[in-house]
Amino acid sequence: MNAAVKGRLELVGAAVCWSLAGACVKLARPLDAWQIAGLRSLVAFLFLFAVLKPWQARPVWPGLKVWLLAGAYALTVLLFIIANTKTTAANAIFIQDTAPVWVMLFAPLILKEPFRARDLAMLLVCAGGMTLFFFDDLSPGQRDGNLLAMVSGVGFAFVILGMRWGRPKDLPEAPAGPEGELPREAIPVRGGIAQLPTPNASSKKGPNESEQLAVYGNLVCFLLCAPMLRMPEAPHPELFLGGLAQPLAVLLFMGIVQLGLGYYLLARGIKHVPAVEASLLVLIEPVLNPVWTYLVSGERPSAWALAGGSVIIGTVAVQALRGSK
C-alpha cells in the first residue's frame, strides 16, 4: 500500500472517530457539558502526551503562539460539547462546519489575502444555510445551542487562521508532489484540531507546533473546566457507582478514540494527501454524526436541519474544489 492510499484511509478513519462525538455526548449522561468536555480533554491530553512525546520538542516549552492557539482550540471544543447538550447533534456539527467560511471572511484582515467575489457568494450562501437551523420551533435552550455551535465554528476558524499566520514566511511554498504530499499552504480540516505541517518539520526532533497545539490545547480545556467539575447528583444513592460506570467508560472512549486517535490519524494521513482531497474526505464526519446519534438515542434531525446542513456541506465542498484550480 503506497503512502497516498494509506493517508486517505487514515483521514477517513479520523473523520469516523470525530463523527462519534454527538452519540457519545448522549451516552455520557448524567454528566453535564463541563464534565464531559473537561474529562474528555484530560484523557486526550494524556493519550497524545504519551503518543506525540512533546518533551522531545526543541524548545521543550511551547511559545506564546502555541498557547494562544491552544486557548482558542480549548474554547472551540468546549463550546461544541456544550452545544451538543443543548441542541441536536446534527445542528451542532453542521453549524460548526461553517469554519472554512469564517476563514474566508477574516483572512483578508489577518493574513492580507484577497477577498474574491466568489468568496462573497459562498459566504452568503452558507449564511443562508445557517439561518435554516433557526426556522424550527426551537426552545430557548436549543436556540442557545445553535448559537454556541456557531461561535465554536468561528473559534475553529481562528485556530486555522492563527496557524497560517504563524507559519514561517522565509521559505518558498512547497507544491504537492507526485505521491500527494501536502503543500504547506494547505487549509486544515476540522475534527477537534487542524494540522499544518511545515516543509522542514520532518527534520525536527519531536512534535511540531501543530502537534504541540493538540496536546496543550486539551490541557487548557481541562484547566478551564476544572473549576466547574463536581460529582453528579445521585437520585438513587445505592446505584450511584454503578450508574457512573457507563458515562466514565464513554469518557475514556471519547478521550482516547474519538478525540485522541482521531487527531493522531489526521496528523499521519494529512502529510500524504493534498489539501483539497483531505477537506472532501473529512466531510464524512458531518454525514455520519447524526446517523450514530440516531442509532444510540433516536434523535432525528429536522427537515430544516437537513436542508441547512446540505447547503453548508455543499458550500464547503464547492469551495474546496474551486481552491484546487
pLDDT in tens, 98-155: 777 777 778 777 767 676 776 677 777 777 777 777 676 666 778 888 889 889 888 8
Tell me if 40 sits within 8 A of 252, measured CB to CB.
no
| 101 located within any domain | yes
User: Is residue 278, in this structure, part of any structural domain at all?
Assistant: yes
Residue 49 has pLDDT above 90, yes or no: yes
- Whether residue 140 is contained in a domain is answered as yes
Q: Given CA atoms 200, 206, 211, 212 in this order, what sign does their dihedral have?
A: negative
CA distance 98 to 13: 22
Res 219: pLDDT: 95
Average pLDDT over the chain, rounded to an integer: 76
| Rounded Cα gap, residues 192 and 321, in angstroms | 23
pLDDT at 323 over 70: no
Predicted TM-score (pTM) of this structure? 0.74
Inter-CA distances, 168 with 44, 171, 197, 283, Å: 28, 6, 11, 29
The answer to the question of residue 233 being in a domain is: no
**Residue 234 belongs to some domain of the structure:** no
Residues 295-324 have a mean pLDDT of 76
- Pick from 63-77, 142-156, 212-226, 279-293: least confident: 279-293
Tally of structural domains, the chain: 1
Query: Has residue 258 been placed in a domain?
Result: yes
> First CA to last CA across the chain, in angstroms?
28
Residue 22 lies in a domain: yes
**Can you tell me the distance from the alpha carbon of 226 to that of 233, in angstroms, rounded to the nearest whole number?**
17
Range of the domain at 100: 3-228+239-323
pLDDT of residue 112: 73
The closest alpha carbon to 54, from 220, 214, 255, 162, belongs to: 214
User: What is the amino acid identity at position 76?
Assistant: T
Which range, of 125-129, 138-142, 173-177, 284-288, averages the lowest pLDDT? 173-177
Integer-rounded Cα Rg, in Å, for the chain is 19
Q: Which residues of 40-71 are buried (b: 16+ CB within 10 A; e: fewer)?
A: bbbbbbbbbbebbebeebeeeebeeebeebbb
What pLDDT does residue 199 have? 43
Q: Which segments of 203-271 does DSSP mark as H helices, in order?
A: 209-225, 240-253, 262-269
Q: Would you say residue 76 lies in a domain?
A: yes
